[in-house]
């Protein structure tokens, strides 16, 4: 196994999180590419894990925390670490040490770049970005937000712990319309998929004149701070869970149900 830096040869693969076989990824549009181009000059780092046959099986992406969706200073923030775990496409690369190798490479890189520590977010239930996995690798929790833990590994004694940016958004409803508020920063194709499906569902001809779609670009952390949200979907006041992304049919059904309640 080798850990290599992202280059143009593997860029298209990275942009779909190694799922070049997935039709769903095509639905997510080009927001990940736009995010990547914007982040290239803000310190984005991407590393890939390549097996002995030259097949990419894992990836990690991390940024200076000042350009992330959490508060912190002089740290690097891991947006995600992902080892391809499907039999489809390139196959299942889990349990071969790729995740550990990627994390260790990112930590070493962050140290060389002068960071005072490295930060990750983890989910407290075993779905994705397991908090327990990061704990096994020396991270400790410094903040929590629902089922999400903010975890870090300081490198220096003067490192300041990060913290979540708390939610402040309160949906404003349009008169006699269903309001669809979609927040998207672009870094995650799964969240981009939710955004694109909501936008498309809100524009269905059968809903014409009954739905107001509002898009929020949360690429910049100041926008995250303003709303307290990075990626999220609201239909009227209902927060729609987007992990994993809801289907197009599900979003359309939720909009339809709200329309039936209009006066």
Confidence of residue 81 (pLDDT cuts 50, 70, 90): very high
Closest residue by Cα to residue 93 from 134, 48, 124, 133: 48
> Mind listing the domains of the chain with CATH numbers?
2-164 (3.40.630.30), 178-260 (3.40.30.10)
Closest residue by Cα to residue 254 from 237, 186, 86, 263: 237
Tens digit of each residue's pLDDT (9 = 90 or more) over 146-198:
899 999 999 999 999 999 998 888 888 889 999 999 999 999 999 999 999 99
Tens digit of each residue's pLDDT (9 = 90 or more) over 193-231:
999 999 999 999 999 999 999 999 999 999 999 999 999
Burial of 77 (0-12, 13-18, 19+ CB in 10 A): buried
Closest residue by Cα to residue 73 from 157, 163, 135, 137: 163
Closest residue by Cα to residue 180 from 241, 243, 255, 253: 255
Residue-level pLDDT at 172: 85
Q: What does the block give as tokens for 83?
A: 């080892």
Closest residue by Cα to residue 92 from 48, 136, 51: 51
pTM score above 0.75: yes
């Amino acid at each position: 196994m080798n850990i290599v830096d992202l280059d143009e040869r593997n860029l298209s693969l990275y942009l779909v999180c190694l799922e070049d076989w997935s039709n769903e990824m095509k639905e997510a549009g080009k927001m990940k590419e736009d995010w990547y181009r914007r982040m290239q000059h803000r310190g984005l780092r991407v590393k890939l894990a390549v097996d002995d046959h030259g097949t990419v099986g894992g990836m990690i992406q991390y940024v200076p925390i000042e350009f992330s969706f959490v508060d912190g200073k002089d740290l690097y923030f891991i947006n995600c670490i992902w080892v391809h775990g499907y039999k489809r496409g390139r196959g299942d690369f889990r349990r071969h040490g790729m995740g550990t190798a990627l994390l260790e490479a990112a930590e070493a890189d962050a140290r060389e770049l002068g960071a005072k520590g490295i930060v990750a977010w983890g989910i407290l239930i075993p779905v994705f970005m397991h908090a327990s996995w990061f704990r096994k690798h020396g991270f400790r929790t410094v903040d929590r937000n629902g089922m999400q833990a903010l975890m870090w590994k300081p490198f220096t004694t003067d490192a300041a712990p990060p913290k979540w940016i708390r939610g402040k958004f309160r949906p404003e409803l349009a008169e006699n319309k269903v309001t669809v508020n979609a927040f998207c920063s672009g870094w995650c194709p799964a969240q981009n998929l939710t955004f694109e499906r909501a936008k498309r569902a809100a524009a269905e001809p059968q809903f014409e004149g009954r739905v107001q779609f509002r898009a929020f670009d949360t690429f910049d952390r100041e926008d995250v701070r303003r709303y307290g949200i990075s990626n999220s979907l609201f239909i009227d006041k209902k927060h729609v869970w987007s992990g994993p992304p809801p289907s197009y049919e599900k979003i359309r059904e939720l909009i339809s149900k709200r329309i039936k309640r209009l006066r």
